[in-house]
Amino acid sequence: MRSKQSKFVKDGCKNFHIKALQTHRASEAHKKCTAHEKAARATPGTNPAEGALQVMNQESFNKMRILFRISHSIAKKGRPFSDYAWSTDLHEVTHGVSLGKTYRNDKACRTFIGYIAEAERLALVEDLQKALFYSTLTDGSTDSSVCEAEIMYVRYSNHGEISNKFLALRNTPRANAENVTTLIETTLKEYGGFTDANLYTKLVGFGADGASVNMGCHNGIAARLQRKQPLLTSVHCMAHRLELAFKKVIQDNEAQLKVFEFLDSIYKFYHNSSLNRSMLRQCCSAFGTTGIPTRLGGTRWIPHTYTALINFWKMYPSLE
């Protein structure tokens, strides 16, 4: 009670004599305030009370850590939530660890993955707030229900280290320039932590494929963004440009078309017949070659073509 009536505690004091300060330092009120301030500034996990709580609940922490790791692995590999139940059973049998009877269903897995995703999002928001500038990259897609969606990435630099991070995959009722531009703005605010004040002041680049909805000179997404940020640099994806240029060059080249037709026929001959594939494997084993004919076409024209040619030359002795 005596310490609570001290001038330092009750009204404040201008007496800075050494004896008065020493007396206050030894008071219970000062010790309690010092301990409170130290605990408030302590690094998470170093507080004695928190440490004691962790020791008391170490078994529960270990259990939740394992369940979160299993959930993270399922999300990382794109596995269905139904794999979570047997994954926990397998972990118990393999490692001899009891994981209890709770949080063992697909709903718990969904919840854990949601918290993991939120933690990653908050880490991304923190990085974006530190970055001086950033760029956004988008591409159209369709989900399993055949609904239009936009996948978005952000590219930024912190302390000279360049990072490309996934931001969001969001559905849109119609993938026109107006809707996608609005979707980009709302996604950057909701998932990237940007505000109206710094959304366009930090935006320096936009990347997408060469579709008119993206790169249209008057009403494309890039043009709409440049109206709000005149210094914005829009980039037509170099991979798409290279593929389009390559396709344009070879479309009138008869020799190239014959080679492509030949590689395509080789692929279909062995792909559509299990007997032909088995005979090819036996020939490859006899000649000491490896490989199997691969599809010439695909979403990546040049890599698919290159792979088909490489595989053909690898097994050429077996095909003679």
- CA dihedral (188, 193, 195, 199) in degrees, to 10, reads -40
If asked whether residues 98 and 141 sit together in one domain, one would say no
Residues 185-205: what's their mean pLDDT? 91
The C-alpha atoms of residue 124 and residue 115 are separated, in whole angstroms, by 14
Which residues, at least 6 apart from 106, have a Cβ–Cβ distance to it below 8 Å? Answer: 81, 82, 84, 85
Residue 47 maps to a domain: no
Give the type of residue at 71. S
Percentage of the chain beyond pLDDT 90 is 35
What pLDDT digit, counting tens, does each position of 75-119 carry?
999 999 999 999 999 998 888 888 888 899 999 999 999 999 999
**Which one has a higher pLDDT value, 189 or 12?**
189
What letters, b where the CB count within 10 A reaches 16 and e where it falls short, cover 246-277? eeeebeeeeeeeebbeebeebbeebeeeeeee
User: Whole-model pTM?
Assistant: 0.66
Per-residue pLDDT band at 2 (split at 50, 70, 90): very low
Instruction: Give yes or no: residues 174 and 218 share one domain.
Output: yes
Domain boundary residue, one of 236, 263, 296 = 236
Q: Are residues 83 and 145 in the same domain?
A: no
Question: What is the model's pLDDT at position 15?
Answer: 66
pLDDT for res 300:
63
pLDDT of residue 115: 94
The answer to the question of residue 82 being in a domain is: yes
For the chain, how many structural domains are there in total? 4
Q: CA dihedral in degrees (223, 140, 164, 131; nearest 10)?
A: 40
Q: Is residue 314 part of a domain?
A: yes
Any domain includes 75: yes
Are 270 and 197 within one domain?
no
Considering the domain architecture, whether residues 268 and 216 belong to the same structural domain is answered as no
Decide if 243 is inside a domain.
no
Residue with tokens 């007496």: 15
Please report, for the domain that includes residue 143, its CATH number.
3.30.420
Tell whether 226 and 265 lie within a shared domain: no
**Domain closes at, from 205, 236, 267:** 236
In a domain, 23, yes or no: yes
Tell whether 257 and 222 lie within a shared domain. Answer: no
- Assess whether 282 and 211 both reside in one domain: no
Residue 169 in any domain: the answer is yes
For residue 45, the model assigns a pLDDT of 60
| 222-267 pLDDT tens trace | 999 999 999 999 998 888 888 888 888 887 788 888 888 888 888 8
pLDDT digits (tens, 9 = 90+) for 134-167: 999 998 887 666 788 889 999 999 888 899 999 9
pLDDT at 304: 81
Same structural domain for residues 203 and 150? yes
Q: Mean pLDDT across the stretch 34-48?
A: 73
Which domain, by its residues, includes 89?
58-121
pLDDT band at 123 (very low <50, low <70, confident <90, very high): very high
Categorize the per-residue pLDDT at 1 as very low, low, confident or very high, splitting at 50, 70 and 90: very low
209 and 271, same domain (yes or no): no
Q: Mean pLDDT across the stretch 171-185?
A: 89
* Domain edge (last residue) among 181, 202, 236: 236
Percent of the chain predicted with pLDDT > 70: 88
Q: Up-side HSE of residue 258: CA atoms within 13 Å toward CB?
A: 3
pLDDT of residue 34 exceeding 70, the answer is yes
> Are 161 and 223 in a shared domain?
yes
Q: Is residue 300 part of a domain?
A: yes
Both 96 and 63 in one domain: the answer is yes
